[in-house]
Structure formats: structure tokens, C-alpha cells
Amino acid sequence: MLVNVAVFAPLRDVFTYRWPEHLGEPVAGIRVRVPLGRGTRLGLVRSVTDTLPLGLDKERVLEVIDRLDCAPCYDERRTRWLERLQRYYLAPEGEVWEMALSWALSRDAALLECPRLERLPKQFKPLEAAWHGHRRALKRETVIARVEVPHANWLLDQALRLGVIELRRGGSAVKVQPIREAPHALTARQAGALQAIMAAGETFAPFLLFGCTGSGKTEVYLQAASRWIEQGRQVLVLVPEIGLTPMWLQRVCSRFGSSVGVWHSGLSQREKWSMISRLDEIDVLVGTRSALFLPLPRLAMIVVDEEHDASFKQQEGVRYSARDAAVLLAQELGIPIVLGSATPSLESWRLAKEGQYRLLKLPERIAAPAPPEPEIIDLRSCDQEVLISPQLAEAMQKVLDQGEQMILFLNRRGFAPALQCCSCGHIAECPHCSMRLTLHRRVSRLRCHFCNYARKVTPACDACGESELLPLGEGTERIEDWLSERFPAYRFARFDRDSVRSMPALQEVLQEFSKGRIHGLIGTQMLVKGHHFPNVTLVGVLNADLGMGLPDFRAGERWWQQMVQVMGRCGRGEQAGRVLIQTRMPDAVWLKRLCPGREQRVLDDELQLRRALGFPPYARWVRLVFSSRRHASAWGVAESMGEILRKQSKQWDVDLVGPMNCPIERLAGCFRVELMVRDGHRQSLPWKLAPLLEHLDAGPAVRVQVDVDPYDLM
């Protein structure tokens, strides 16, 4: 018996192996351990066959080493869904399965007990070595490491099935204990949206819930979820950032109690295993994009909150969009999906305008004043070194005096984005990237925010030896220092990836702010997504110019979405709020688009511009990035691929741009060269590229990254 295995590696081939009888009956869809090169790899059995591939010598076929699953990891519908993802994103098959099944690795953290160690049946005697005569519970990975047989996983699974080994049940990973709350009364608009969603029943129906910040989108999600739970079904809620999960858990647990699950990268392996072992019992699962791959057995509805957010696009490995993948999953399962946002992506807006998504609108806030009009502060009239304008400082003092709270937004971590020598002008740069090093003064380090390189701050310039070093610009750390000096009687906290490094730390900051013990937060983009703080009456944007001048056609769209979300954190309680925006470009077009109520007009105008330019979402682009330690190697492979694509471009009716250096030319020690293939009719790409990539021989020195529907063009 032979099996074809998609090996968990960036390889585009499927490999054939012999199936040994002692591993039971082979089944497609299970994980196995196989020999590959000089080592071993995990892989997924894609098919079982008796036929050798042409040209393959039977004597050279290697044998499967171990079997990791008794039954297939996914059912037929989810398998078809992943196959569609693999074809669309032009990813190696094994890499897709490795990404999707990463949740299964948490099984290694399961605790196992052997209560009858001295009476183990003969076939399970090798397991004795794991416990060394003790009866304590051991992690599964510890047992596997101690058992000296190659098929230890399969042996252990058989022992568990027969009850020789017992599995200790883990506790819940959800630590929230909220006060139970009853559903809120819905407005007419909310009730209409809920009715439309539930009318879809058990059929594929995509909805775009377009509502301003504070319009009650979450309540619509929760009441729809409640209807499905009453029918014994499950609901999946995807959020873009780990930072949003505490807020969502608080709301969901207050409504549904202990039948709530959570999934994100901040969980330990043991917490993940606890969640996997009780998937049948969960009513609502809240998680980041990887939660999409958990095999919820009774899934009836998917919610994608803040669907526009860039965090839903994976930027490493298989570069998939979790939002688009969720829509495909809903299609395969035949269930409704709700995409919610106050600033929808142009991709979703176009589909809603064309009738492929049903548009549901919530244009007004609930039980709160209308969103405030932004007040623009021209920094050109202030001193060059000013961090906080007099107008903003005065507004901050007033808010603090009244016992209210504020949020300051600056999308830049650290103390300063650069450190310059005033004597020779030298600026410290990363030795591995084409980027400046960011100054983190509290820990006296210069760090690269791209490759994580860090070094100590030296007292003298690296180039000339002088000690005249000047921090350029401002980051959240610098603003926190300014606030502490200006308002020493009040408490402030940063909310960025440097200060909030774990889920407990994140939850502590949010709880302290919600209880009023922290008077102001200074944060990056992770602060402005979906949080609800009723006592915040002032939002200050410290540098609105950041992100507007990037060489990326989506830069304006992303900037507008971010600003609207920032403004939406203000005035959500009984008191009206103020939004003050500092800028050195007060006449910029995008600033004039921030008035509340203009969101639909802004989306329509930008969509019209994209159509005229032939840009996404009216075109489909595929970005190929070739990276290598040697620039010549990357350029050579990119040039060869470019020649092949130029010969095909007329037949496919596509445009080719490049090869050219990426805007960030060097990253983590590798030079980067790109090709951009653009299909204005959305007919040929990405599928026409698949055979070319399968036969592309880039060699071991060059890595090829394929990004379908690229979101980051840097």
C-alpha cells in the first residue's frame, strides 16, 4: 500500500511513501511522520494508492515512520475549502496544510496518566519507559520523547483508545468572570439587520454590516449568535488583533457564560489544548485569524469584526486574507457570514455595491452624542520641536480637571524613530535592513522594528566619535515622558507592543483604564480598534501625517480608516467629545474626508478613482518577491521569471512591472527584488501562474514569496 503525502515544507511536490501494516489502515487526511532528506518531517496523507508514480523505482520508496491521527483532521467540506485556498494563493500544498493544522500541535501539551503501569499489555510495554515507575501525569510530548519506538504516536493513540493510558481533562483557557447581562433593546435599524441575517437560515449569505462607531454592531452580532445557540449551533467571531479579545470575551461571556472559547497566539500550548479538547462544548469562539482553521463541528455563522483591518492579511508564509478565506469557508459550509466595519474595505464595499454582499446600514450612534467634528491644528504655526500644541495641551488640562479621560494616538513606537549625530549628520541604521534604528531610551537600546536587531546606545557617534547625539521625531515613549512632566498628578500608560507584551498585561491596562485609575492612554494602532471607553471625551492625534506619503496606492485608504477609528473612540458615553488632529499638512485632501457622516461618499469616490486607474478591487495583482543574501542572485532569478512572464503577458492579457528593487530593499539580511503582475480583467490571475511557479528553479540561495492580492507593497 502506498500513500501520497504533502510534506510540511515549502515544497510544491507531493511525495509517495510505503504504508507499514503496523500503523493500521491508511486514511486520507491524517498526519504522518515521514523521512525527508537527512531528517524527518510531518506531512498530511492526501491519497491512498497502489500505483507507483511513473519513473519511480519501487526499491527507492521509503516507509512512513509514524501516524499522528486516528481519523482525518478535517471533513470533506473543509478539505475542499483548503484546497481552494491553496490554488488561489499559489502556495505549496504542504505549507498550507502545516499552517491550517498548527492547532493540532497543541495535543503535545495534553496530560496523560498510566494508572495500571505494572499491568500494561505486552504490546504497550515500551510505554513503561516514559513513566519510570512513577504514576504522575506527563505531557504527551514527554512520553513520546521517552518511548524508544519510531511509531510512538500511534502506539500511544492505541493505548488511549483501549483505556490503558488515560487523558487528564484540562481547564478552560477563558479566565473572564463577568456579570451576566441581558440583551439590549434594539433600534429599528438593528432589528432590521438582525432579521435579515437570521432570514438567511442555513444557506450561504454574505452581509456587510456598515455602521458608524458606537452604532451597536456588536449587539447585532450577539443577538444573532444567541438565536443560533438556541438551535444547538456554534458561532465563530474573528477579530483582527489580540488586543480586541478581552473586550469581546467580556461581552460574549456576560451574555453566554462559560460556553465561550478564545483562540490566539498569546495562549500557551496547554491552554490551546484545553480549547481543542472542548470544541464540541463551545457555543461561541472568539479569535484572531488562525481561529478560522479550528474544526468547529456545529458552525452556523461567522462574524468578521473590523473586516477592513490589515491584520487579517497574513504577511509571512502562506499570505492569505482571513476575511476572504472566511467568506470561502462560509460558502463551502452553506452558512451566513457577517462582515462588520465603520470603514469597510474597498473590496467589500465594491461587492456590496454590486449586490454580491447584502448591505446593512447602522448610520447613527446609540444612546450617545453624535460623533464629534475633528478640529485641525496646524503645527506649522508652532515651534519646530513641539510635541503637543498649546491647543491640545489646554484641552487635555480641561478634560483632566473634569475627571474625564483621554486617548492620544501616535502610530510610532519607541522614544524617537532615529538618533542623529549633530556633528557629522550620521543616523544609526540597521546592519541587516534598509531602515533606521528606533531609539528606546528607557532601556537604552536602538532597535530595528523589522528584523528585531538591537544594540546598546553608545555615548558617541559611530562615524565621527563626537557625543552630540540628538533624537529625531517622537514616539509613544517620548510622549509618555512629556505627559508625566506636564501632569504629574495624573496617571498615564502606553498601549503599544513594547509596553503590553502579554495578555495579562494587556488586560490589566484595559481594566485599569475602564475603572478610571488611568487618566490617559498613549497608543499605536492597537489602541484604536473596537474598544469602548464611555468616559473618554478627548482624542488627540499627535501626527496625522504619518502613513500618508507611502509609495502604496492603499496608503490613503488605510490612513482614512485609521483616523475614523481613532475618532470613534471619543464621546461614546453621555458626554460629548472632542477630536483634535495635529498636522503639518492641513490642506491635505484626506483630512477633508474625516467629517462624520461622509463615510459612504468617501468610499464611493475612492472606488470610482480605483476603477478609473484600473487598480484593485477592479484588478487582481500578484506580487512576486525574490530575496537572497546576494543582490545579484535575487535579481537574476527575478529577471529570468520576468522574461517568461513577458512572453505570456499578451496571451494572458496581463501587465508586468519589474523586476525592480522593493521599497524596503534589504530586510533581515536579504536583498529583495520584486515583480508585479497585474490582471485588469481578473480573468487570468492567479491561476495562470501556478504551472510557472511549479517549474521555477530558484535554487537554494533565493527565496520566492508569492503574494496574491498584496496588501503591503513595501
pLDDT in tens, 168-197: 876 555 555 556 777 888 999 999 999 999
CA distance 375 to 582: 9
- What would the grid cell of residue 241 be? 488583533
Instruction: Say whether pLDDT at 427 is over 70.
Output: yes
CA distance 281 to 649: 52
Asked if 474 contacts 441 with a C-beta cutoff of 8 angstroms, the reply is no
- Give the residue ranges of DSSP H helices in 439-554: 476-486, 503-514
CA diameter of the chain: 85
Beta bridge partners of 421: 469
- What whole-number percentage of the chain has pLDDT above 90? 55
Asked if 389 contacts 583 with a C-beta cutoff of 8 angstroms, the reply is no
Residue with the bigger pLDDT between 131 and 420: it is: 420
- What whole-number percentage of the chain has pLDDT above 70? 97
Measured between alpha carbons, how far is residue 314 from residues 288, 338, 466, 625 in Å? 11, 20, 43, 15
Average pLDDT on 279-306 reads: 95
Residue 385: predicted pLDDT: 73
Helices and strands (H and E) in the chain: how many: 18, 30
Q: Give the H or E element holding residue 658.
A: strand 655-667
Q: Around Cβ 109, how many Cβ atoms within 10 Å?
A: 18
- What would the grid cell of residue 418 be? 532615529
Average pLDDT on 208-213 reads: 91
CA distance 137 to 132: 12
Q: What is the mean pLDDT of the chain?
A: 89
Asked if 219 contacts 185 with a C-beta cutoff of 8 angstroms, the reply is no
- What would the grid cell of residue 661 be? 528593487
Task: Give the count of alpha carbons within 13 A of 220, CB side only.
Answer: 34
- What would the grid cell of residue 294 be? 479550528
Average pLDDT on 614-635 reads: 95
Residue with the bigger pLDDT between 69 and 179: it is: 69
Residue 66: predicted pLDDT: 94
Instruction: Say whether pLDDT at 280 is over 80.
Output: yes
Which string of b and e fits 663-674 if b means at least 16 CB within 10 Å?
A: eebbbeebbbbb
Asked if 123 contacts 154 with a C-beta cutoff of 8 angstroms, the reply is no
Strand runs (DSSP E) across 307-373, as ranges? 336-341, 358-362
Residue 327: predicted pLDDT: 98
Average pLDDT on 637-659 reads: 91
Instruction: Say if strands 492-495 and 438-440 run parallel, antiparallel, or are unpaired.
Output: unpaired
Q: Give the H or E element holding residue 645.
A: helix 631-652
Average pLDDT on 31-36 reads: 95
Beta bridge partners of 359: 208
Residue 464: predicted pLDDT: 86
368 pLDDT tier (thresholds 50, 70, 90): low
Residue 552: predicted pLDDT: 86
CA distance 489 to 493: 14
CA distance 352 to 365: 22
Contacts of 198 (CB under 8 A, 6+ apart): 224, 227
Residue type, 246: P
Residue 178: predicted pLDDT: 57
pLDDT digits (tens, 9 = 90+) for 308-351: 999 999 998 999 999 999 999 999 999 999 999 999 999 999 99
SS (H, E, C) 185-226: CCCHHHHHHHHHHHHCCCCCEEEEEEECCCCCHHHHHHHHHH
Asked if 417 contacts 479 with a C-beta cutoff of 8 angstroms, the reply is no
DSSP state at residue 68: -
Residue 182: predicted pLDDT: 77
Instruction: Say whether pLDDT at 60 is over 90.
Output: no
Tell me the angle at which helices 188-199 and 217-230 cross, rounded to the nearest 10 degrees. Answer: 40
Asked if 129 contacts 147 with a C-beta cutoff of 8 angstroms, the reply is yes
Q: Is 134 exposed, middle or buried (0-12, 13-18, 19+ CB in 10 A)?
A: exposed
DSSP state at residue 397: H
Please give the model's pTM, rounded to 2 decimal places: 0.91
504 pLDDT tier (thresholds 50, 70, 90): confident
Phi, psi of 343 (to 5 degrees): -135, 75
